[in-house]
């Protein structure tokens, strides 16, 4: 069995060090031969950085890394192109000035890599333009940008700071269109789809493939891939859990499958959680252990006091494309960050019904919301009290059940002025959903 690439996002390391790789190169070939400038939105921990690294290896002509993969047998021409790769997750994002200087510094490393003389040091637009035009003397340039929206997401609860950073990256992306003749391929990834008007206004040739059916399985693990490439790990998990293979597959699907990014209803597994499951052989909520959605919880508390019908509301198709800092759509954010996914599409109404993708996400997210809305202290995880409530119910001990229930309301500050009872109803609803009851509010 190959090693599991947990936390490894470099394609060359995965291949040369004998780690598991699920072959996505047929989809990637379809992408790189089907256009020039693309954008893909996916939640965190879904393999966006690995995709960027794979594209980099392809455009640098490293055919030897793709032995026995689909693209090796294709008609792809393995020319080596200069690659500008920028990962916003690794840049300083505190202020617009720091962001600008961090971007320039990253571009300078590419100047040095290709031994190009630096003639401009302060003007971001000129630094980027000079780099692309100089590199194009070698061959047409490939631009790969990972986590493009990180400077905005980091300040999502501070609109002024988010807008200031937005202007810096808007200036950067505004350079791309005038350089079209020098560029071979451009690919941008991120979590949120901030509207093209606010960031990509000059990039009218940009193809947003985030909700395209043909790329719905570009990232994530499909059921077929799980049953073929991942079969040895499922067998090992089956033995560890003392379950039949069928029951093991069903349980893995219940916990980690269900992410649907298009009308085609093509569902995929969260790759990060799946790899950790194969490693630890224990069913657990892995995604939230490393990515607590603090900004999301703040946003939810700011925009709603009603958590009882997140899965019942419809969201229009336009809401996914008209998404900006000044007009944040909570359901759109929850979809793009992976806490809700597409349950169905109503063609007549041009609207989507959303739902929680799986048990892992629903359980962890509701616990996070419950702790935040009820102001539980950090040393008081909601799961401990939930277990107590279940124990009291099982023993028909109503008095202790009520006493434990009061914990979720005891710490709500008196300073909060709540005009509706929905806030408290939301706590009840979330709590009893976590207890396993079917709730109707």
- Measured between alpha carbons, how far is 441 from 61 in angstroms, rounded to an integer? 58
Is-contact 63 72, C-beta < 8 A?
yes
Q: What is the mean predicted confidence (pLDDT) over 59-79? A: 97
pLDDT score recorded for residue 290: 57
Is-contact 342 335, C-beta < 8 A?
yes
Q: What is the mean predicted confidence (pLDDT) over 80-99? A: 90
Percent of the chain at pLDDT above 70?
A: 91
pLDDT tens digit sequence for 296-348: 777 777 776 667 777 777 888 778 766 666 667 788 888 888 999 999 998 88
- Measured between alpha carbons, how far is 191 from 266 in angstroms, rounded to an integer? 19
pLDDT tens digit sequence for 164-194: 888 888 888 888 888 999 999 999 998 877 6
- Measured between alpha carbons, how far is 423 from 428 in angstroms, rounded to an integer? 9
- Measured between alpha carbons, how far is 187 from 143 in angstroms, rounded to an integer? 6
Instruction: Please give the structure tokens belonging to residue 311.
Output: 């899965």
C-alpha count within 13 angstroms, C-beta hemisphere, residue 83:
19
- Measured between alpha carbons, how far is 352 from 320 in angstroms, rounded to an integer? 10
pLDDT at 201 over 70: no
Higher pLDDT, 97 or 378: 97
State the maximum Cα–Cα separation within the chain, in Å, rounded to a whole number: 79
Q: What is the mean predicted confidence (pLDDT) over 264-268? A: 94
pLDDT band of residue 428 (cuts 50, 70, 90) is confident
pTM of whole model > 0.85? yes
Of the given ranges (25-29, 153-157, 358-362), which has the lowest mean pLDDT? 153-157
Residue whose entry in the numeric block shows the structure tokens 């202007």: 167
Sign of the Cα pseudo-torsion (54, 57, 60, 61, in order): negative
pLDDT at 92 over 90: no
pLDDT score recorded for residue 379: 67
Question: Can you list the alpha helix ranges (DSSP code H) found in 304-397?
Answer: 330-336, 359-373, 382-394
How many Å separate Cα 353 from the centre of its chain?
A: 20
pLDDT tens digit sequence for 133-163: 999 999 999 999 999 888 888 877 777 888 8
Question: Can you list the alpha helix ranges (DSSP code H) found in 114-158?
Answer: 124-135, 150-153
Is-contact 209 84, C-beta < 8 A?
no
pLDDT band of residue 62 (cuts 50, 70, 90) is very high
Residue whose entry in the numeric block shows the structure tokens 């890599």: 113
pLDDT at 399 over 80: yes
Helix 422-434 to helix 359-373 angle, to the nearest 10 degrees? Answer: 140
pLDDT band of residue 204 (cuts 50, 70, 90) is low
Q: What is the mean predicted confidence (pLDDT) over 413-439? A: 77
pLDDT band of residue 293 (cuts 50, 70, 90) is low
pLDDT at 416 over 70: no
Q: Any bridge partners for residue 40, and if so which?
A: 189
- Measured between alpha carbons, how far is 242 from 251 in angstroms, rounded to an integer? 12
- Measured between alpha carbons, how far is 46 from 268 in angstroms, rounded to an integer? 10
Q: What are phi and psi of 186, to 5 degrees?
A: -130, 130
């Amino acid at each position: 069995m190959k090693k599991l690439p947990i936390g490894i996002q470099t394609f060359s390391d995965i291949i040369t060090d004998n780690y598991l790789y699920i072959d996505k190169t047929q989809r990637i070939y379809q992408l790189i031969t089907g256009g020039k400038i693309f954008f893909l939105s996916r939640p965190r921990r879904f393999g966006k950085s690995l995709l960027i690294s794979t594209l980099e290896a392809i455009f640098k002509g490293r055919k030897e890394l793709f032995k026995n993969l689909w693209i090796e047998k294709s008609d792809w021409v393995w020319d080596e192109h200069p690659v500008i790769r920028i990962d916003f997750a690794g840049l300083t994002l505190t202020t617009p000035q720091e962001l600008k200087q961090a971007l320039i510094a990253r571009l300078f490393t590419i100047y040095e890599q290709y031994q190009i003389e630096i003639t401009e040091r302060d003007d971001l637009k000129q630094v980027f333009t000079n780099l692309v035009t100089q590199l194009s003397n070698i061959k047409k340039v490939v631009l790969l940008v990972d986590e493009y929206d990180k400077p905005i997401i980091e300040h999502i609860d501070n609109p002024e700071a988010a807008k200031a950073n937005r202007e810096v990256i808007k200036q950067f992306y505004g350079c791309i269109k005038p350089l079209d003749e020098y560029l071979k391929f451009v690919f941008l990834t991120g979590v949120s789809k901030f509207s093209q008007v606010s960031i990509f206004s000059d990039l009218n040739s940009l193809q947003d493939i985030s909700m395209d059916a043909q790329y719905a399985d570009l990232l994530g693990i499909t059921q077929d891939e799980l049953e073929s490439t991942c079969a040895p790990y499922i067998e090992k998990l089956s033995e560890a859990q003392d379950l039949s293979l069928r029951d093991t597959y069903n349980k893995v699907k219940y916990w980690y499958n269900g992410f649907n990014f298009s009308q085609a209803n093509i569902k995929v597994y969260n790759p990060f959680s799946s790899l950790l499951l194969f490693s630890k052989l224990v069913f657990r909520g892995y995604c939230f252990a490393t990515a607590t959605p603090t900004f999301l919880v703040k946003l939810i508390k700011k925009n709603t006091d009603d958590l009882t019908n997140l899965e019942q509301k419809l969201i229009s198709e336009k809401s996914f494309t008209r998404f900006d800092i000044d007009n944040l759509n909570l359901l759109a954010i929850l979809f793009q960050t992976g806490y809700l996914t597409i349950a169905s599409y109503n063609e007549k109404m041009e609207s989507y019904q959303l739902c929680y993708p799986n048990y892992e996400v629903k359980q962890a997210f509701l616990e996070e919301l419950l702790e935040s809305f009820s102001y539980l202290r950090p040393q008081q995880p909601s799961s401990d009290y939930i277990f107590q409530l279940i124990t009291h119910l099982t023993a028909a001990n109503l008095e202790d059940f009520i006493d434990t229930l009061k914990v979720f309301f005891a710490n709500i500050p008196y300073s909060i002025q709540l005009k509706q009872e929905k806030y408290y109803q939301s706590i009840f609803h979330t709590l009893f959903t976590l207890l396993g009851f079917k709730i109707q509010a």
